[in-house]
Amino acid sequence: MIKWLLLSYFFLLPLLADEPIVPIPLDEPIDIPKAKLGQELFFDTLLSRDNSTACVSCHDIYSGGADERSVSIGFNGAKGNIQAPTVLNARYNFKQFWNGRANTLLEQATGPLSNPTEHNMDPKKVQDRVSLSNKYKKMFKEVYGTYSITYELILDAIVEFENALTTPNAKFDKYLRGEIKLTHEEQEGYKLFKQYGCITCHNGINVGGNSFQKMGTFVAYNASTTFPDRSEITHNMEDINVFKVPTLRNIAKTAPYFHDASARTLKEALSVMSKHNLGIELSNQESDKIILFLETLSGEAPKILDTF
């Protein structure tokens, strides 16, 4: 986490040197034709065994990039085992999935495709289905210069689209760049956010997504329930209930909250986090101010969506 923060600070403008949150870059380099191909694939139910599920089915990129359901529904009506996180700004996460089992978006992209409760596919079946499409043959020829469609190229295109799903120009980003001022209440909310220690885990360019933390640092949190947490990767009992810290970018649009989708509103989420991970109880006034600050983290829709 410390290494990540140091790297983040390196790119800050001098006037932002003391800020723990970094604005999203305005112009990330993207291969647009490749990303548009990836967008077609992201929206295509052809990539699921029963043609019922597309990537967008569980990641509503027009409204926060997450799933409004507690768990997603996949192949043959099967239910997932954890709340689907947002795919927006996922390129800035240091790991992917709640338990960090994927190091890159490329590793992450193959997970849902092969998961029997999601797309329930295998690389060959994905490759064969896409290869039968005249539309995709033409698009792959234009983008990659070949009619030979491989699973690796399919993943490459999807990842390029996901890399394009950034949401710059949030009100708070504009404030950090000195372009606008926050309201008094938003400023107060940000001060409280830092004062009570929320900033310890939610910082950097993604306001999270750059460390693992235990859910229930001060007060145990649902210790009797089982979700795919960090302990499934490390096999260390100390990592039970440890998850990747979620991004707070566009948080006002990604309810329900937490890995278990147990909080339906931001106010409820703040109440839970302040008790279990900060060891404090926020007043209603404090919660309202912090929520006003959190709402300033909602950015613009990704530019790549404009021409779909």
How many C-beta neighbours within 10 Å does residue 120 have? 20
Distance CA 120, CA 9 (A): 41
Which two tokens mark 248? Answer: 């707070």
**Domain coordinates in residue numbering, the chain:** 2-25+168-295, 32-166
- CATH superfamily, with its number, for domain 2-25+168-295: Cytochrome c-like domain (1.10.760.10)
User: What are the pLDDT digits (tens) for 116-133?
Assistant: 999 999 999 999 999 999
Which residue among 40, 118, 160, 286 is the active-site one?
118
pLDDT of residue 18: 77
Q: Dump strand ranges (E) for the chain.
A: 212-214, 242-244
Q: Which residues in the chain show pLDDT less than 70?
A: 1-17, 223-224, 307-308
CATH of domain 32-166: 1.10.760.10
pLDDT of residue 226: 84
Which two tokens mark 95? Answer: 């790991």
- 79: β partners: 73
pLDDT of residue 306: 86
Which two tokens mark 218? Answer: 């001060």
Domains 2-25+168-295 and 32-166 share a fold: yes
Active site residue 186: no
φ/ψ of residue 26, rounded to 5: -80, -30
Q: Looking at the whole model, is its pTM more than 0.75?
A: yes
* In the block, residue with structure tokens 């996180």: 85
pLDDT of residue 1: 40
pLDDT of residue 178: 97
Q: Rounded to the nearest 5 degrees, what angle is found at the Cα of 229, between the Cα atoms of 266 and 225?
A: 75
